[in-house]
Structure 1
Amino acid sequence: MKIKRSKYDTIINFLSLLCLIGTASILIISWKTIPNEIPGHYNAVGNIDKITNKNSLIVLFAVGWIMFIGVSFIERFPQIWNTGIQVTEQNKERVYRILKNMIGTVKLLVVLVFSYLTLHSITGKNLSPLFLPIFLVLMFGSITVFIFQLLKDK
């Protein structure tokens, strides 16, 4: 099944690509000024708990791209999605549109987080203690909104 590309899909993909390309540009431009040792991991409250080499920024950045490409690939095959509800001829357009919007939103949030962590690591500072709670609220909050849309008028 092919789902028509919507304006929402276009905006989400544009913002994701803009974020990834912007992160790449900043890394390339500032590579020589990035300290050799940078934070490699943060604990749940945002404190640095591992120091690593700046080359790990490349890995973190690559994971962001891999996630973007992987989720973009999965978006193309709605027949493999677990919808959680019975898909019929009458509701399939609506169900798959809602799920595609949810997947796109999650994709954007993941790209934003990986880009943010990549760029924030350059500073060598702790994350805000609010980073994890805000990310979790955005991620699970948006998923919850889409699930409610999906279950509405079931």
Structure 2
Amino acid sequence: MNRTFAVSALTAGLFFAGAGAAFAGASGDVEAAASWHKISTRKSSGVSFHSGKYKWEAPGANHGAFHWKGWLKDTSAGDGHNVYVQVKAEGHDWNRFNGKQKKSVWKDYLVWAPADRYTDDARIRSCRDRGSFHPDNCSPTKHYQR
């Protein structure tokens, strides 16, 4: 009886010690992947995306997404045109996030590739919508990789 109890206690202790070490290592990886990084100001005539930050969500958390946030500003308030941010992940089409004319708006979104466990490639730019007859003008595209 005592020997069975001792073996059971030893097995449980080893199991929990291993689980604790695995959990500690995993949380360190999650923490490193989830740290925020600066996005340089993306601007073009009439539009500015500033005070931006991004992070890579951990695989299995929030789709392993490219998480970005920052201020989108219409810098030519009198021109009558709207502004927007475009973000794409893993070579998929651009996602458009509209701003407001004559205002600065806070944007905070996740973009991911649905077929992937995590996203490791993303691009971002800010643009001014100049209507049907003129092409939109956009900032240079910034490319990020995990």
Quick check: which one's strand share is greater? Answer: 2
TM-score, reference length from structure 2: 0.29
Quick check: which one's helix share is greater? Answer: 1
* Higher gyration radius (CA): 2
